[in-house]
Amino acid sequence: MFRKITLKMFPILNWLFSYRFREWILRDLHAGLSVGMFQIPQGLLGVWLTRLPLPNINGFLSAFCCSMTYVIFGTSHHISIGSFSILNMMVTNILKTVNFNQTLSSNGSLDNFSDPTFMKDYMEALTLTASITFLTGIIQLLLGCFCLGFVTAYLPKTLIDAYLTAAALHVIVSQFTFIFDVMLDFHKGPLGIFYNLFHFFLTLPKANATSILLFLLGVATLRVNTSIMITYKYSPIAFPMELLLIITFSIISNHIHLHAESSSAVVSMIPQRFLPPTPPDLSNLSKIILHAFSLAIVSYFLLDFVGERYASLHNYNIASNQELIAVGLCNICSSFFKSFVVSCAISGTVIQEKTGGRTQLAAAIGASMMLVIALKLGHFFQMMPNGILAAIVVFNMLPFLKKFLDIPILWRKDKYHFVIWLVTFAAVLCFDLDVGLAILLLGTTLTDTTSVLQAREIEGIKIFQCCSSISFANMNHFKTYLLRKMDMKAVPLDESEMRALISLSLSDTAVERKDLKCSCVCDPPLPPPRVSFKSIFIYSVCLRCLVEVTSQIPVSWAIARCGRVRYYLVAEGTLLTTSEACPSHLLLCILLWLFPIFTVISDVFFTMREAMSYDLQYCLTCSKKFSTS
């Protein structure tokens, strides 16, 4: 019992003690290096999507601690923990309550940190962010402890796809400020996204052409990178094009001051002073508890659905409640560094899976590499044109927009889910992410069962309703549930036992004696057994011993390489098949005599025989050494 509880609380022990070092270490090392290189620009993107310049050291330390926490407590082998654009966008909406984003966008200079008013707003925003992240982690931890991870089963896939698609559009619109290099205050509220689009179109004549060209160049480069498949020894290699773009344009920007022409605000505005870990301030608990609950649900849903997808692809299972506890602990660790809510970093997860990662050791290697490079070479990322960062954000959101292609399929297959998709998408797009999430949860409330209270149970008949489709994911659970409710046990029966049961049930009726046929979908009866035979491989043997062997052991057919042996067997009528390459071992010949085989698998046996490289150099009977020529 203690061992079972320990393995459940610390899933790292499940794969750590059964780790196949020779088979998996190179794959995990390759995946870890790729993910670690990718996480450096991801940290910069999360900062600028929220427009909250968190110090680089805090961001990278937070990412390292969260990754190591999930390595210990997570059950998925391929999840990469980190910031996610949609969650950062939700944090942006919450931070608008302290009027911090408007001050940063209008000034956009490192000199702002010398302004006492600006610093007060800055620290207030960081404190609020840490409180939101901490409370989000506490909510997730409590939900996991109370085993409420099953709630994702009540959300249809179409509803989740519609929510993420609408949220991706919110993220893309938020990047228009960086694409066009036009500073506008975002409008929050009903129809806010359309209000922002209208004002962006009005300011297009003032857009920065250099920033737009850099954005298009970045998107085109990332698109070409996805069209090229790089493999090494049949293993795919994901080239870190995002990191290459940031390194290249950072060097160019430092030499020719490209950031001054293409960006009104640059990454160099990020403060470098390390903010030591401090306990979060929960004085604003009443103001942020609803926002924290929304973030907790979205963060967990994203992690669970991505984890289930890769678990099904690689034939293992994840524990929903343990995943909820793991992501909650990650958010609690992140809050001490005044960082943002974390979840599954989809881009990092895809890279970790495609580059051959087998276990969370790849995530540990990637987090360590990311921290070392960021602390030692962080000055190379001090300047960056916003158009390149916006290109990376927008390009990573494009896979969510592909869900629009599912609309015609939903219309033809299931109009009910088609309506769910449209209603959820419209609600999130028009009423913002928080209100859309509330509509999402309210729409999945369980139906009242008072209308079926008058149902009458018929003796001998049980009716079970499965509200979702039965697939490989829930097939075993559904079958076990049926057997438990019926107080039955699944016992496999052969054909004779099924015939006996059918005959017994029909014994009291006048039925003609006919060949009864099973009505269930079971395996067909086995074919009648074939006549077995014995075979012998003869590489080279003296003729006297061959006569003794063939006279004592009835051989159906033989394979010979030696010419004189072949002539003897042909004369005796024993040689039916010949082969010019038939090396075998003495032990193999003995096993062939003891274990008859069917003729139907002779071709398979030949393939196995050709793969062996043993040389029979001794006579079968007298053990006399002879020539193999």
pLDDT tens per residue across span 576-618: 343 433 444 344 444 444 444 444 344 444 444 333 333 333 4
pLDDT confidence band for 55 (50 / 70 / 90)? confident
- Report the range of poorest mean pLDDT among 111-125, 282-296, 567-581: 567-581
Cα–Cα distance list, 381 to 41, 87, 249, 251, 281 (Å): 9, 24, 9, 9, 31
Rounded CA separation 353/80 (Å): 10
486: CB partners within 8 A, 6+ apart: 462
pLDDT tens column, 428-460: 888 876 677 667 667 665 444 445 556 677 776
pLDDT tens column, 386-408: 788 778 778 877 877 888 888 88
pLDDT on residue 531: 41
Long-range CB pairs of 484-487, under 8 A, 24+ apart, other chains included: 486/462
pLDDT confidence band for 136 (50 / 70 / 90)? very high
- Helix spans in 274-414 (H): 285-313, 320-336, 346-354, 361-376, 386-401, 407-413
Tally of residues, the chain: 629
pLDDT tens column, 86-118: 677 677 777 776 555 544 544 444 445 566 777
Rounded CA separation 479/117 (Å): 64
Q: Quick one: DSSP state of residue 524?
A: P
CB-based burial, 504-540: b 16+ in 10 Å, e otherwise: eeeeeeeeeeeeeeeeeeeeeeeeeeeeeebbbbbbb
The count of other CB atoms within 10 Å of the CB of residue 323 is: 27
Q: And the tokens for 109?
A: 């200079």
pLDDT on residue 27: 81
Q: Choose among 265, 213, 224, 261: nearest CA to 47.
A: 265
pLDDT on residue 588: 46
pLDDT confidence band for 189 (50 / 70 / 90)? low
pLDDT on residue 142: 93
In this predicted structure, the answer to whether residue 320 has a pLDDT above a threshold of 60 is: yes
Rounded CA separation 262/253 (Å): 10
pLDDT confidence band for 195 (50 / 70 / 90)? confident
* Most confident by average pLDDT, 3-7, 237-241, 550-554: 3-7
- Helix spans in 10-115 (H): 12-16, 21-50, 56-73, 85-95, 100-107
pLDDT on residue 412: 87
In this predicted structure, the answer to whether residue 556 has a pLDDT above a threshold of 60 is: no
Mean of the per-residue pLDDT values for the chain? 71
Which helix or strand (DSSP H or E) is residue 343 part of?
A: strand 343-344
Cα–Cα distance list, 267 to 6, 271, 298 (Å): 44, 9, 28
**pTM for the whole structure:** 0.60
What number is the average pLDDT over the span 302-329?
Answer: 84
Q: Quick one: DSSP state of residue 532?
A: P
Cα–Cα distance list, 135 to 50, 71, 102, 290, 444 (Å): 19, 22, 25, 10, 25
pLDDT on residue 28: 86
In this predicted structure, the answer to whether residue 147 has a pLDDT above a threshold of 80 is: yes
Does residue 543 or residue 213 have the better pLDDT?
A: 213
Handedness of CA 13, 15, 18, 22 (dihedral sign): negative
The count of other CB atoms within 10 Å of the CB of residue 298 is: 25
Q: Which residues pair with 235 in a beta bridge?
A: 232
